[in-house]
Structure 1
Amino acid sequence: MSAGWLQGDVALVTGGGTGIGRAVAERFVAEGASVTIVGRKREVLEGVIADQADPQAWLAVEADVRDTDAMHDAVGQTVGRFGRLDILVPNAGVWDFHRHLTRLSGHELAGAFDELFAINVKGYVLAVEAAWRELVKARGSIVMTLSNASFYVNGGGPIYTAAKHACLGLMREMAYELAPHVRVNAVAPGGMNTDLRGPEAIGLAGRSIATSFAKRNDTEGMPIPLHHSSTDPVDFTGPYVLLASREQSGTITGETISADGGIGVRGFASPAGGDHLLALVGHRGTEADS
């Protein structure tokens, strides 16, 4: 068997117990890397490792990405186990399940905003802060998980869209600040059939995005050009490997690969229009309104 693109590298993936995080971690190991997976539920992380053919290539660290001390400990455990850190994948996140501004009270918005930004944005910042020293030593790289919502509206509600736009700016700023020692790039996947959850603040922690996929009627047509493209996270992992590889992308930093099936050339489905807003505020139309 030929050597993989990440032979001998060591990676740390936040949110590595499920979804795209797990898929990326497994792909990295298949490409020759050793991987630390970070998550809030140790039993989930240990379950991932139990499924692997080579558990010695894996390390599970229970940590909350909102806790800087926990993230420093995760990096320390990684270096202690594997001797170095070459690749960081800030990935842990939650989704707002398209909760529009008009469907939430001010208190709900405030709570959901604080929780989602703390995980999806601050969690990325704290992961980078904990890891950058080791990445400089290794001349390593960071590959962030973004989203089609980092570029286009209606990939989520206002909170998720704002958070993913923020992460796009964060990636670019970190690429500037950490050059020339550390490359910083991102992958922006489209929707995936995963266990991605929502904010506890608005009662969505127990809901999985997989539920939405199960309810979707594919006979109505996929709103993307590559209408047969997979929603399996495994099929989104290639760009992560490419960007993490020194040999394959050593001249690339500050860039995002969109792996969204072509949303960028079609756009999302159009909203229903403004009539629902009038209904929400109890507006009664008159001839003067036309």
Structure 2
Amino acid sequence: MGWLDGQVALVTGGTGGIGSAIVRRYVAEGAKVGVMARDATALQQLQEELGDAVVTIQGDVTRYQDNQRAVDTTVETFGRLDTFVANAAVFDYFTRLDRIEPEKLEESFQKLFAVNVQGYLLGARCAIEPLRQSKGSMIFTLSNSAFYAGGGGILYVTAKHALVGMIRQLAYELAPDIRVNGVSPGATSTPMKSLEGLNKRSVPLNEIPGFEQAAAEAVPLKRIANPEDHTGHYVLLASKQNSGLTTAHIIHSDGGWEIRKAAG
């Protein structure tokens, strides 16, 4: 018996890093899962791995039509929707405001916010009605950058801070029918990519020289997370039996970033 037996979830950005770890954990806990992502090859590989426990949808979270198609496909395939997990995001490779060329600032802002904020809102809007029917929940992936400076550049940190307000407002608007919560991972060894064209030095997170060691040394628990380290929080928040009174809450999964000691 799993914690999510009989439940159905939809996960965006579900083919890599934390997203695919959530999908695998949900399936292990008894859930059926719709998986939305842009990479058709990665979606096919996940479908072959997990079989009829998942249905895959190729789409772009910045487009309303694609989000609606993902919700509709999940409901049509599995008969219901209990949890919507918004997880797709792009990074900004720690780029400071004064390092962004003025002529690129507006375009870069719009592209990053379209994925990291607008994509969450579009998915949430499309999921409202089936979640009302199931008395379900929404779970949003944040970051320690939603609470502290220095975990990214100006665009990424600003976008993640915006999501804190989004969770609280959605929890207020959608109660009592839908619970709305978040998980705030710290530094994680993932292939998360940065916005194209913003920083010439940009590489995926897990390819930054020294990143894993520096991230581990920055927190009291002295290790960087693997994607699987966060998945239990997503299971808990999706479980109707074990978190039925939890809403407007964000679980920190960051190795104790708030209590890190000063250098020296």
Alpha carbons 2:95, 2:199 under 8 Å: kept? no
Q: Distance in 2 between matches of 1:41 and 1:268?
A: 41
User: Which one of 204, 213, 222 corresponds to residue 218 of structure 1?
Assistant: 213
The TM-score normalised by the length of structure 1 is 0.87
**Letter of the aligned partner of 2:108 in structure 1?**
A
What's the offset of the Cα at 1:108? 2.5
Equivalent in the alignment of 2:247: 253
Equivalent in the alignment of 2:2: 4
SS in 2 for 1:60: strand
Q: Distance in 1 between matches of 2:212 and 2:201?
A: 24
Q: Distance in 1 between matches of 2:253 and 2:6?
A: 26
Alpha carbons 1:13, 1:89 under 8 Å: kept? yes
Q: Distance in 2 between matches of 1:56 and 1:217?
A: 35
What's the offset of the Cα at 1:207? 2.8
| 1:177-232 CA distance string (max 9 Å, x none) | 110000000000001111111112425798311111x533738961100003x421
Q: After the TM superposition, which parts of structure 1 deviate over 4 Å for at least 4 consecutive aligned residues?
A: 203-206, 267-270
Unaligned runs of 5+ in 1: 271-290
SS in 1 for 2:33: strand
Unaligned runs of 5+ in 2: none
What's the offset of the Cα at 1:41? 1.3
Equivalent in the alignment of 2:153: 157
Q: Distance in 1 between matches of 2:262 and 2:108?
A: 24
Alpha carbons 1:17, 1:44 under 8 Å: kept? yes
Assess, with a 3 A threshold, how the Cα gap between structure 1 residues 8 and 134 changes in structure 2: closer, same or farther.
Answer: same
Q: Distance in 2 between matches of 1:109 and 1:168?
A: 23
Aligned residues: CA RMSD = 2.0
Alpha carbons 1:36, 1:59 under 8 Å: kept? yes
Calculate percent identity across the aligned residue pairs.
41
1:110 aligns with 2:110: no
Larger radius of gyration: 1
Q: How many residues align?
A: 264
1:182 aligns with 2:184: no
Equivalent in the alignment of 1:23: 21
SS in 1 for 2:56: strand
User: Which one of 107, 111, 131 corresponds to residue 135 of structure 1?
Assistant: 131
**Letter of the aligned partner of 1:22 in structure 2?**
S
